[in-house]
Structure 1
């Protein structure tokens, strides 16, 4: 067992939001960095309509040399890596909340459950009311599974993390590939795969048509319809199981105080930087080469049976580069001059991550959807990435301005107030302008 039974709550103990002075600065910085990467990823693939376009149109937008380079860099360094980092930080946050709740003698399960239920409500509203790509609802549902590991040993947590991240996807991919071949034969399996792809393509076409229309109502109706199409799919359940594995890695890192006590783990971070780079380069490189060969028609997933292992190899590549990002920021913490510049930019955004995540959706819909500026399906990769980085850069001074006056972002305030069942004080206490007398 990881911890003994927590002591009985002391008299007068009650749950409360974490104070600003109790925050782990490196976590806020990494959360801000992850939010930037997630914004680029969402804009590149979804808000811009790229994931919904026919292959010929995607190739036309990416044909110029600059666009090819930007696309290659995106898929190697950005695609899915920051979602992994976000998931890791979610599990780490659970570990920190658990430690602090036990230190105050407050039961974690009721508080954490209310927190997840509120997040689930925000996520479902975001998914059906604004954008199908929401991760908040999934994080909330998977977050309840973390409670199953509340008293599990570190060894158990690590084993389950590896099973969920590596074992389950590999097994599912093998079953999906080989069982249809054995049950129906190669030709029938190929036809079933083509039928499934055609159904997916039709759903995406209808979604794109709705988003491209000049009507807000039609766009959101298409969004809700596509959400109903993707939610029951088995691959979403598989993604949630992998997400739980990433949460567990964050939980384990929190138990070892990996981000809370950077100085003590400096040697570990150096090893993480090296091995993460090796695994990340090999995993992402192999995935990228395989996808190029598939597009060129050199390999066929239906005939080249070794390709069933690619998703797992790709997941290891994602974890490797995500580890590099964590280690790089942790080691940057040791360089005080650079660190203060970085934290002034990213930490305020990280403290308002929920607010900015939702704000990014609203602004992006206004820019890309047909009822807005109508740029969906028309932005080449370089312009899409540049625009996204400009918008994120504007969120930095907005965060600094807001947090100079208020304790939380607006969405964070709502989340906390509903979790604790009472409105939280929003404004910062005014600083005294009178110097205290010295006796």
Structure 2
């Protein structure tokens, strides 16, 4: 939200250059990039199962409730993409969530096979894509390369989100301009963005949603696993995921963030290790929250999660207003390290408002709206007085 997308992938493309910028890029690459989205996908699958089970327990038709929720989520996502922020994930989750429902009645053993199979398929897809890009560049830069091969290599390098990425100047001009121009840009790109997300991330998202259903059912996410069963998951996940990820980060840094290695590490080479870290993060989170259950901070973090939809869209509204041209116009003017001041500020804001609101109301504002639309009637909002 603060700078062109190319800078998220490659600090040399935008927003980097200082040692602190590169260090923060490395921390993000190793510990957070893709891992937070992965945890979101896990929890989306788990919450989907909870909602369907809850609907059935209340005598409602689970499929009807689920697909109404996905329909409205799809519309929210489309509006979010066009009107607020171009990197929306809600439309994608609504489509994949509609497919994930078909897996709810499967046994845990079958769910495990599907989850592993889809994640392996995602790795294979991205590895083939990355290997093809490297092969194209190798052919196009060889002494005997034909004109067509050289042009193909140039096209790959131009699309690799590195320094000099085409369109950065246009991107800056657009997002520093007025609201109408920005909406038109997002509207023109919405179809290609949707297709890209479904093709590029679809197998991973579905695999992780199915894994979330499994981890809910087997007690992992509900705290039923004892500590001595969770600790090895966290330990081995970090041991298998973090050292190779650090090695990849060092490799990219040693090449001064050459465009193609950075881009293919982002889309492919880091992926297997990302899944190990996602599971480790999930196990670590359960251990930590069990240890600190009942504390004031844990209660506030839990409230942030219960109002996740409102916090998600609220963050988009706040940050795009701060950075885009129709707001404070900070887009592209804030360095990578300085952006974290805004991030921590939003974290604090979420922690401050979510719990007091939920002490008085059953749902966050957008959670209530989504639930009411999916149920076809206004849901009770205010909590009964104690």
After TM superposition, the score normalised by the length of structure 1 is 0.76
Contact 2:115 2:210 in 1 (8 A): yes
Match of 1:278 in 2: 239
For residues 54 and 343 of structure 1, do their structure 2 counterparts lie closer, same or farther at Cα, with a shift above 3 Å needed?
closer
Secondary structure of the residue that 1:281 maps to in structure 2? helix
Residue 192 in structure 1 maps to residue 146 in structure 2: no
Residue 385 in structure 1 maps to residue 344 in structure 2: no
Match of 1:317 in 2: 273
Secondary structure of the residue that 2:246 maps to in structure 1? helix
Q: Deviations over 1:244-288 (max 9, x none)?
A: 11111101101112222x244322211111111112213422432
Residue 147 in structure 1 maps to residue 107 in structure 2: no
Contact 1:207 1:226 in 2 (8 A): no
How far apart, CA to CA, are the structure 2 residues paired with 1:406 and 1:198? 51
For residues 87 and 204 of structure 1, do their structure 2 counterparts lie closer, same or farther at Cα, with a shift above 3 Å needed?
farther
Match of 1:210 in 2: 174
Q: Which has the larger radius of gyration?
A: 1
Contact 1:211 1:222 in 2 (8 A): no
For residues 257 and 54 of structure 1, do their structure 2 counterparts lie closer, same or farther at Cα, with a shift above 3 Å needed?
closer
Return the match for 1:418 from 357, 373, 377.
373
- Structure 2, unmatched stretches of 5+, are none
Q: State which drifts further: 277-286 or 375-384.
A: 277-286
How far apart, CA to CA, are the structure 1 residues paired with 2:129 and 2:182? 37
Return the match for 2:253 from 280, 286, 292.
292
**Deviation of residue 327 (structure 1)?**
1.6
Paired residues, what number?
A: 375
How far apart, CA to CA, are the structure 2 residues paired with 1:247 and 1:378? 37
Contact 1:87 1:243 in 2 (8 A): yes
Residue 85 in structure 1 maps to residue 39 in structure 2: yes
Match of 1:354 in 2: 309
How far apart, CA to CA, are the structure 1 residues paired with 2:191 and 2:13? 29
Contact 1:77 1:321 in 2 (8 A): yes
Match of 1:125 in 2: 79
How far apart, CA to CA, are the structure 2 residues paired with 1:71 and 1:240? 26
Contact 1:181 1:189 in 2 (8 A): no
For residues 156 and 54 of structure 1, do their structure 2 counterparts lie closer, same or farther at Cα, with a shift above 3 Å needed?
closer
Contact 1:366 1:372 in 2 (8 A): yes
Taking only aligned residues, the RMSD between alpha carbons, in angstroms, comes to: 3.1
Residue 269 in structure 1 maps to residue 269 in structure 2: no
Contact 2:31 2:277 in 1 (8 A): yes
